């Protein structure tokens, strides 16, 4: 009987946002105003498609983007946490559900040799086309009204847990580690045994604390963190239970 660990990527595993970090590859490290202004709320993936096209048109190549991406720092204590999980893989399954993209996440996990820690990565699929432009697509379509059209993390989580159950894998609890507004949806569906672990000072934590002030019910316990080392302590406590 294992615990399922669910990680967000941007501002959770890495200490920045991969989509905004890549802008440093642009001429003068910034995007033209008209491109910045083309973002429509809820359509971030489409916006990033235009950003990647702009970078490609300006001659930014794959190796340059990769160099930038793998220079992103991990959040404090995250490398220690991932090493702890690796040592205890008999007790944990581990997945990423992220609104970044498959190319960026693969680069970071491979460069830091932590690919083996994660059983599965759910994110927007990306690839370089024949012109050397990075292209990105929506992860899926869904009918959740709370989430952007390209990704509902709760739908992904529920489907994964359901498929695992069909394979005979039943998790004792889910621990959800994230930071952002798009982590609110999956976290509110967690059950009594589960643990929501929002990063201190970020949108998810602020939203959950507002919800508790408004007495909006949440079944799971909430344990906030600033460093991966605090997450290790809580996981050690859970596996002793």
Span 21-31, average pLDDT:
96
Whether 99 has a binding-site annotation, put simply, is yes
So what's the pLDDT on residue 214? 85
Task: Report how far apart, in Å, the C-alpha atoms of 106 and of each of 50, 118, 151, 153, 206 are.
Answer: 21, 11, 19, 19, 30
Q: Which residues contact 159 (CB under 8 A, 6 or more apart)?
A: none
Delimit the domains of the chain by residue range: 2-15+74-124+146-239
So what's the pLDDT on residue 19? 95
Strands 126-128 and 134-136: antiparallel
Whether 19 has a binding-site annotation, put simply, is yes
For residue 94, the SS3 value is strand
pLDDT at 215 over 90: no
Instruction: State the fold for domain 2-15+74-124+146-239.
Output: Rossmann fold (3.40.50)
pLDDT at 212 over 90: no
Whether 10 has a binding-site annotation, put simply, is yes
So what's the pLDDT on residue 1? 87
Tens digits of per-residue pLDDT, 175-187? 999 999 999 999 9
Q: What is the pTM of this model?
A: 0.96
Cβ burial of 141 (10 Å; 0-12, 13-18, 19+) is exposed
Tens digits of per-residue pLDDT, 141-154? 999 999 999 999 99
So what's the pLDDT on residue 216? 81
How many secondary structure helices (H) and strands (E) does the chain include?
A: 10, 8
* Catalytic residue flag (residue 8): yes
* Catalytic residue flag (residue 16): no
């Amino acid at each position: 009987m294992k615990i399922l660990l669910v990680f967000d990527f941007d501002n959770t595993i890495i200490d920045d946002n991969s989509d905004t970090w890549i802008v440093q590859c642009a001429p003068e490290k910034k995007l033209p105003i008209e491109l910045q202004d083309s973002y429509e709320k809820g359509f971030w993936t489409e916006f990033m498609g235009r950003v990647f096209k702009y970078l490609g048109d300006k001659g930014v190549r794959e190796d340059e983007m990769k160099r930038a991406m793998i220079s992103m720092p991990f959040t404090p204590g995250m490398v220690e946490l991932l090493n702890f999980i690796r040592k205890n893989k008999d007790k944990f399954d581990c997945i990423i559900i992220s609104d970044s993209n498959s190319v960026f996440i693969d680069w970071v996990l491979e460069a830091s040799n932590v690919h083996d820690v994660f059983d599965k990565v759910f994110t927007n699929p990306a690839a370089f086309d024949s012109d050397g432009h990075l292209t990105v697509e929506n992860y899926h379509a869904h009918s959740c009204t709370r989430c952007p059209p390209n990704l509902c993390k709760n739908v992904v989580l529920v489907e994964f847990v359901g498929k695992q159950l069909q394979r005979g894998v039943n998790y004792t609890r889910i621990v959800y580690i994230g930071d952002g507004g798009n982590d609110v949806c999956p976290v509110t569906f967690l059950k009594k045994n589960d643990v929501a672990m929002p990063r201190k000072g970020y949108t998810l934590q602020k939203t959950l604390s507002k919800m508790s002030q408004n007495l909006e019910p949440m079944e799971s316990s909430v344990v906030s963190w600033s460093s991966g080392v605090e997450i290790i302590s809580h996981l050690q406590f859970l596996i002793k239970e």
